[in-house]
Amino acid sequence: MSEVLRKYTVSTRRSAELALLIGAWLLGVFAWILVDAATSTTTAGGWVSLIGSGVILLMAHGVVRRYTPYADPILLPAVATLNLLGLAMIHRLDAANAARALANGTKVPTPDVYFQVAWMFIGLILFMGVLIVVNDHRRLQRFTYTSGVLGIVMLFLPLLPGIGYEVNGAKLWISVAGFTFQPGELAKILLTVFFAGFLVTRRHTLALVQSKFLGVGFPRIKDAGPLVVMWLFALMVLVLERDLGTSLLIFGIFIVLLYVATGRRSWVIIGSLLLMVGAVAAYKMFGHVRIRFDVWLHPFADAQGTGFQIVQSLYGFANGGLFGTGWGQGYPQLVPFAKTDFITSALGEELGLVGLTAILLMYAIIVERGARASVATRDPFGNLLAIGLTAALGLQTFIVVGGVTKLIPLTGLTTPFLSYGGSSLVANYILIALLIRISNAARSPEHDQSAELVSEVNA
Amino acid sequence: MIRQINRVTAGLIFLLIALIINISYIQVFQAKSLRSQGGNQRGLLAEYTRQRGPILVGSQSLAESVATKDSLTYLRKYAQGTDFAAVTGYYSLVYGATGIEARENDVLAGNDSRFFVDRLQQLIANRKPKGGAVRLTLNAAAQTAAMNGLAGRTGAVVAINASTGEILALASSPSFDPNLLSSHDPASIKKTYDALTADPKEPMLNRPLALTLPPGSTFKLITAAAALESGKYTMNSVIPAPASIPLPGSNKTLGNWNHKSCGPGDKTTLKHALAISCNTAFALLGMKLGEQALYDESKKFGFESSFDTPLISATSHFPTGLDQAQIAMSAIGQFDVRATTLQMALVAAGIANDGIVMKPYLVSQVMAPNLTVLQNSVPQAFGRVMTTDNAQALQKMMVDVVNTGTGSNGRISGVVVGGKTGTAENSPGEAAHAWFVAFAQTANGPIAVAVMLQHGGGATEVSGNGLAAPIANAVLRAAMKQ
């Protein structure tokens, strides 16, 4: 008993997590109240949503406390903050839609934020499920190839006639029994598990150096197989599903893990070259890629047509300026897809540079905590899985936010935890659950000697 | 592996920092140019949510914003919109603003720096920001009289309080209804706008300010002023005035409209020459005075200048580098002489105000959102055009035009009215422009008016009197009633 007490009071930091979580929830409530004040919205379902989200977060905290007592105390509050800010912005955009419906005399649509709160529940229930079921992340290594196959199936599911369907030119969605889902978000996690499991067994072979060029050791040609296969695979996603974002993200995660597993910079160089070849080929061959690229370079050339989205997004950021217009006081509804792809633009307009920087720093904190879990884990599979999941989150954020701010061409991905969309939210909560599980192993005082063994045996 | 993980982490953090730097660039450095991009609705939308201030004439409001139920919050409404459109302009969601709506936008939208204290009070009291008000110098009765006179014709009227420069009427015909362009329905705005721009009569053209035309015989006032100012002539000087004169350097001749000489022995006085608008007398006078004297005198009256009323006027021109024949034609307001209706009103105003042209202006007061007066306009002189004596002589000559000469329709019983008719020849086949400029001496000082009817009448000198003078007469009567 005294042993247990010592553990809880000295090193678990669960109370810090709880305090941060309450702070995150209060921030979300505060934002919601400001939205209501500015848009004169009535909050009948509002308090139900807010209290519901607080209760489910508290339950998640309870499960973390019970099943992963040594877990990183920052991760859950950080993603909860983003999730709650996302809810407030979706609520704010709902208010704009309602006002427009009233002005046009049409029916006021059901607020999307209620669906998002429901998805938050599902996401956090799965989060708790993962923490309970996956009691040791090393068990996932057994499912390396199962994850790989499942991941590929998920990725190409939208191509199946009957259930897959197209939204805005990209085939990312499936629809089953009235429910729509973006399986690519889950595929991202499954493939990361596969990459980690696969590379942990092959890392020594793939690290062999055959020749040196400019001081960098290059691998044997015959070992380039997995990279080339992944490259072709990413190109298939691009060609068949027209999904530039997912294609880039999955190839990026693979290169990161290949580099970490082998320690060879040459893989990054080869990977980058392949990426460039793919990009040039895609530009030459596909009209939709060419349009995206040209719009990136000259968005104002066709500001009412192809450049409309990015131009409206930039107008939003400009309107926000340094401090933002304040919740509910800008015009984020003028940007197309403000709730999904362009939610950063909406937040940038109403919270300003100051608010958006805080949000991006929140992602930086999540990346740093994920990396910390990766470094501190004692098994190579855990190292790779944690940094892979962290990179998945970080790269996705960069690709989508970079796209809506015209830093890179627009590709179309959801902003983790902020964007409206169930698949994205659920998948990212599962991702964070896995990171929390690994961080628990990393910070746990009981050093499990068998950790190294498992991966070595599989090798 | 640890080193690689750290490097990957550093890379990911670097990407996030790149995002922050890029967003800082957009939201701080690019923000201003993005906000002012055409097609960026946000500035306009923000303006619409604020109650825009009214445009007033006396205590009557010409334009005001009324609350609506739609998302744009306020609708701009123009009482007697068509009559005042040349001044108010429109305030359109699609095409931006024109007229006073555009030129005084900072005041009306409440952005003006003079509102700083007021804005601070609003902020502290948490009241919704409102725009300030603009009061115009216009005389509603004079403006209505001008628009009624122009009804169904193409032309312009400008009336000015000669002693202050206050613009009392600024009318353009045909006009348009700014309410239709300032609605909240983009489709109907576009439809109206397209129809207006396609109309060959150009209803959205601000004729009194933007259109420069040959002023014809009304320009003889400037030639007469230059003659008096030269010191070599008085109104009683006898000058040659034959039925026609050869134009030097060509085989053409310039004749009077009635093909008769203007006086016995082909001579007449300067006064009589103006009264009957004798072409040959003024052509010969112009050639004697020379290009420079005419150019200098016209410049004193405001030619070669653009007036900021704050509606910007086009610049009137007197040509340079002329040969003798061209000087002769220019001295009677033909050839390449071009003047706005405003400019010709200023000519009458300068003469009536004893030789001093006052800067014309439209805004008399700027008021804060709570309607306290922030600024009263102060009359300013544009410059002296002639000595008081010469100006008063020219006034007498103009009174003779009305009483005994070509401007008989300008007469108002019991009031001293001076005027000058004009018919500006066009290229052959096109109808001439009819002009009438006049002043009336009233208890509150002289009022000047210029009426221009584009392609307004026949080719005879009387058309200025027949068509334009009655309108000038009505405007002067309306302006005097106050």
Residues of B in contact with A363 (CB under 8 A): 16
Interface test with A, best of B3, B13, B17, B19 (most A CBs within 10 A): B19
> Which position among B173, B182, B217, B277 bears the catalytic label?
B217
Instruction: Name the burial class of residue B236, with classes exposed (0-12), middle (13-18) and buried (19+) by CB atoms within 10 angstroms of its CB.
Output: exposed
Q: What is the mean pLDDT of chain B?
A: 87
A19 touching B, CB under 8 A? Answer: no
Q: Per-residue confidence at B458, pLDDT binned at 50, 70, 90?
A: very low
Tens-digit pLDDT profile for residues A266-311: 889 988 999 999 889 888 988 888 888 899 999 888 877 788 889 9
Backbone phi, psi, residue A95, to 5°: -60, -40
Question: Are the beta carbons of A231 and A185 closer than 8 angstroms?
Answer: no
Write out the two tokens for A106: 């049409």
Q: Do B23 and A318 touch (CB under 8 A)?
A: no
Residues 256-275 of A with CB under 8 A from B: 256, 259-261, 263
Q: Do A394 and B1 touch (CB under 8 A)?
A: no
Provide the 10 A C-beta neighbour count for residue A275.
Answer: 16
Number of H helices, E strands in chain B: 20, 19
Answer whether residue A9 shows pLDDT above 50. no
Residue A132: partners with Cβ closer than 8 Å, 6 or more residues away: A63, A67
A155: left (phi over 0), alpha (psi -120 to 50) or beta: alpha
Q: How confident is the model at residue A345, as a pLDDT?
A: 95
Q: Do B9 and A318 touch (CB under 8 A)?
A: no
Closest CB to A260 among B4, B39, B71: B4
The residue-averaged pLDDT of A90-114 equals 87
The residue-averaged pLDDT of B246-275 equals 84
Q: Do A348 and B27 touch (CB under 8 A)?
A: yes
The residue-averaged pLDDT of A335-353 equals 93
Residues of B in contact with A321 (CB under 8 A): 27-28, 31
The residue-averaged pLDDT of B21-50 equals 83
Q: How far is B129 from chain A (nearest CA, A)?
A: 14
Closest CB to A387 among B8, B35, B42: B8
Q: Per-residue confidence at A178, pLDDT binned at 50, 70, 90?
A: low
Sign of CA dihedral B116, B122, B126, B127: negative
Q: How confident is the model at residue A3, as a pLDDT?
A: 52
Q: How far is A162 from chain B (nearest CA, A)?
A: 39
Instruction: Please confirm whether the linkage preceding B174 is cis (ω < 30° from 0).
Output: yes
Q: Do A315 and B37 touch (CB under 8 A)?
A: yes
* Threshold 0.80, pTM exceeds: no
- Residue A79's identity, in one-letter code, is V
Residues of B in contact with A391 (CB under 8 A): 8, 12
Q: How confident is the model at residue B137, as a pLDDT?
A: 94
Q: How confident is the model at residue B427, as a pLDDT?
A: 64
Q: Per-residue confidence at A42, pLDDT binned at 50, 70, 90?
A: low
Write out the two tokens for A302: 């066709």
Chain B residue nearest residue A391, CA to CA? B12
Residues of A in contact with B28 (CB under 8 A): 321-322, 353
Q: Do A364 and B13 touch (CB under 8 A)?
A: yes
**Number of domains within chain A:** 1
Range of the domain at A367: 2-458
Write out the two tokens for B392: 């008063």
Residues of B in contact with A82 (CB under 8 A): none
Sign of CA dihedral A376, A377, A380, A382: negative
Q: How far is A429 from chain B (nearest CA, A)?
A: 20
Tens-digit pLDDT profile for residues A226-246: 888 888 888 888 778 878 888
Task: For residue B144, give the H/E element and its range.
Answer: helix B140-150
The residue-averaged pLDDT of A337-349 equals 93
Question: Are the beta carbons of B67 and B49 closer than 8 angstroms?
Answer: no
- Residue A12's identity, in one-letter code, is T
The residue-averaged pLDDT of B308-334 equals 90
Q: How confident is the model at residue A215, as a pLDDT?
A: 67
Q: How far is B26 from chain A (nearest CA, A)?
A: 6
Write out the two tokens for B307: 């007036």
The residue among A445 and A263 whose pLDDT is bigger is A263
Interface test with B, best of A313, A353, A438 (most B CBs within 10 A): A353
Tens-digit pLDDT profile for residues B395-441: 999 998 888 878 778 788 788 889 998 888 766 666 788 899 999 99
Sign of CA dihedral A411, A413, A415, A418: positive
Query: Which DSSP category does B112 fall into?
Result: -
**Most confident range, picked from A314-318, A427-431, B201-205:** A427-431
The residue-averaged pLDDT of B146-163 equals 92
Q: How far is B11 from chain A (nearest CA, A)?
A: 10
| 3-class SS letters over chain A | CHHHHHHHHHHCCHHHHHHHHHHHHHHHHHHHHHHHHHHCCCCHHHHHHHHHHHHHHHHHHHHHHHHCCCCCCCHHHHHHHHHHHHHHHHHHHHHHHHHHHHHHCCCCCCCHHHHHHHHHHHHHHHHHHHHHHCCCHHHHHHHHHHHHHHHHHHHHHHHCCCCEEEECCEEEEEEECCEEECHHHHHHHHHHHHHHHHHHHHHHHHCCEEEEECCEEEECHHHHHHHHHHHHHHHHHHHHHCCHHHHHHHHHHHHHHHHHHHCCHHHHHHHHHHHHHHHHHHHHHCHHHHHHHHHHHCHHHHCCCCCHHHHHHHHHHHHHCCCCCCCCCCCHHHCCCCCCCCHHHHHHHHHHHHHHHHHHHHHHHHHHHHHHHHHHCCCHHHHHHHHHHHHHHHHHHHHHHHHHCCCCCCCCCCCCCCCCCHHHHHHHHHHHHHHHHHHHHHHCCCCCCHHHHHHHHHC
Which stretches of B162-278 are DSSP H helices?
Answer: 178-181, 186-198, 207-210, 220-229, 270-275
Q: Do B27 and A397 touch (CB under 8 A)?
A: no
- Residue B116's identity, in one-letter code, is F
Interface test with B, best of A265, A272, A367 (most B CBs within 10 A): A367
Q: Per-residue confidence at B204, pLDDT binned at 50, 70, 90?
A: very high
For this structure, is B65 an active site residue?
no
B170/B86 Cα distance (integer angstroms): 7
Q: Do A383 and B5 touch (CB under 8 A)?
A: yes
Answer whether residue A10 shows pLDDT above 60. no
Residues of B in contact with A249 (CB under 8 A): none
| Percent share of chain B, pLDDT over 70 | 95
Task: For residue B75, give the H/E element and its range.
Answer: strand B74-78
The answer to which of A123-127, A229-233, B200-204, B330-334 has the lowest mean pLDDT is A229-233
Apex CA B123: angle with CA B119 and CA B127, to 5°? 95
A359/B419 Cα distance (integer angstroms): 74
Q: Per-residue confidence at A168, pLDDT binned at 50, 70, 90?
A: low
Interface test with A, best of B2, B4, B22 (most A CBs within 10 A): B4
Q: Do A367 and B12 touch (CB under 8 A)?
A: yes
Cα-only R_g, chain A: 23
B337/B343 Cα distance (integer angstroms): 12
Q: How confident is the model at residue B186, as a pLDDT?
A: 79
Write out the two tokens for B89: 């302009």
Question: Are the beta carbons of B318 and B294 closer than 8 angstroms?
Answer: yes
Provide the 10 A C-beta neighbour count for residue B210.
Answer: 18
Which stretches of B353-440 are DSSP H helices?
Answer: 388-403
Q: Do B30 and A363 touch (CB under 8 A)?
A: no
Residues of B in contact with A401 (CB under 8 A): 19
Cα atoms in the 13 Å half-sphere on the side-chain side of A1: 0
Q: What is the DSSP string of B424-472?
A: E--STTSPEEEEEEEEEEETTEEEEEEEEEEEEE-SSTHHIIIIIHHHH
Residues 84-103 of A with CB under 8 A from B: 99-100, 103
The residue-averaged pLDDT of A38-60 equals 87
Tens-digit pLDDT profile for residues A366-425: 999 999 999 999 899 999 999 999 999 999 999 999 999 999 998 878 899 999 988 999
Indicate the SS3 state at residue B183.
coil
Answer whether residue B462 shows pLDDT above 50. no
Q: Do A260 and B6 touch (CB under 8 A)?
A: no
The answer to which of B65-74, B98-107, B139-148, B452-461 has the lowest mean pLDDT is B452-461
Question: Are the beta carbons of B444 and B404 closer than 8 angstroms?
Answer: no
- Residue B134's identity, in one-letter code, is V
For chain B, which domains are there? 210-364+380-480 (3.40.710.10)
Q: How confident is the model at residue B125, as a pLDDT?
A: 67
The answer to which of A71-85, B150-164, B406-420 has the lowest mean pLDDT is B406-420
Q: How many beta-carbon pairs under 8 angstroms link A with B?
A: 133
Q: Per-residue confidence at A11, pLDDT binned at 50, 70, 90?
A: low
B185/B403 Cα distance (integer angstroms): 54
Cα-only R_g, chain B: 28
A442/A379 Cα distance (integer angstroms): 9
Write out the two tokens for A262: 């082998």
Q: How confident is the model at residue B71, as a pLDDT?
A: 65
Q: How far is A314 from chain B (nearest CA, A)?
A: 7
Answer whether residue B108 shows pLDDT above 90. no
Write out the two tokens for A363: 């992602």
Q: How confident is the model at residue B461, as a pLDDT?
A: 43
